[in-house]
Amino acid sequence: MFVEFEYEPLIEDFYGNGEMRVESVLKILENAGNKHSDLAGNHNLEGSSNGMAWILTDWYVEMDFLPRYGSKIKAKTWSQGATSIFGTSRDFEFYCDGKICGKGTTRWVLYDIQSSRPKKIEKDLIERYGPESVSVFGDAKLPKIAVPESFTDEITLRPRRNDIDFNSHVHNLVYLDYAMEVLPEDLYRKHDFKKIRINYKAGVKEDEEILVRHAEVDGEHIVCIFGTDGSLKTSIKIS
């Protein structure tokens, strides 16, 4: 089942130069996936209240170019079906004025909230999504994110109330906002990011202080988010 999601961009989706924020690209793709879940009768809010949740483990998005203000935006998404007994994947295509301008993929694990353990994905649940044997990146593995030996920039943050989602932890898209906060001013102001790779290790909860660190490695920017105990929460690579 291929699902299309048309999005009417808002003024806050753009930088001052009229180019779409990469944070908004991920938001649009996320909402396309949520529409697919609704059509499959697997509503995220309902599932969470029943003790079951889809936990996002990975993002990878490549944009050829970012849409400009006034463009017509559409996302296309589909599920690839079960990739393991606990996991599945979802792919995306991003369109601007009828032309494909980006692609992406995500990885998910079904999670039992009560036991705090992965949950086996039943065949009938996957079939409701109408899986397609199509991959935007072929058989290529997701790029790895190696934790740098040292960092050049560092900030300490505490999540705001609005950062917490219906699963009681920081919403997955907010981690990219944290990454943008730690970047040097001149780098952030260039707004020149076309590739986003995120790997989630552990969720950040309300009132949990975190350490956000940045380093440039071989022309790519690595941001690692740590708990105060030194545990790695999330790794992000942007370029």
pLDDT 10s digits, 13-45: 999 999 999 999 999 999 999 999 999 988 766
Alpha carbon separation from 146 to 114, 137, 181, 223, 224 (Å, rounded): 32, 21, 21, 10, 10
For residue range 131-159, list pLDDT tens digits in order: 999 999 988 889 999 999 999 999 999 99
- Separation CA 169–CA 205 (nearest Å): 4
Q: Which amino acid is at 206?
A: E
Q: Which residues does 186 contact at the CB level (< 8 Å), separation at least 6?
A: none
Indicate the pLDDT class of residue 100, thresholds 50, 70 and 90.
very high
89 neighbors 108 (Cβ within 8 angstroms): yes
Round to whole Å and give the CA distance between 75 and 7. 8
Q: What is the pTM of this model?
A: 0.94
Nearest to 95 by CA among 192, 6, 219, 197: 6
Query: 22-39 and 174-182 are packed helices; what angle lies between their axes, rounded to 10 degrees?
Result: 170
CA 51 to chain centroid: 22
Could you tell me if 183 and 142 are in contact, meaning their C-beta atoms sit under 8 angstroms apart? Answer: no
Q: What is the mean pLDDT of residues 59-77?
A: 97
Which residues lie below 8 Å from residue 200, measured CB to CB, with a gap of 6+?
A: 55, 56, 57, 58, 172, 175, 233, 234
- pLDDT value of position 49: 54
Q: Is the pLDDT confidence value at 48 over 70?
A: no
Angle at 227 between CA 225 and CA 229, to 5 degrees: 140
- The residue with tokens 């969720």 is 203
What is the per-residue pLDDT across 163-221, written as a single tens digit (0 to 9) for each? Answer: 998 878 899 999 999 999 999 999 999 888 999 999 999 999 988 999 999 999 999 99
Q: Which helix (H) or strand (E) holds 3?
A: strand 3-7
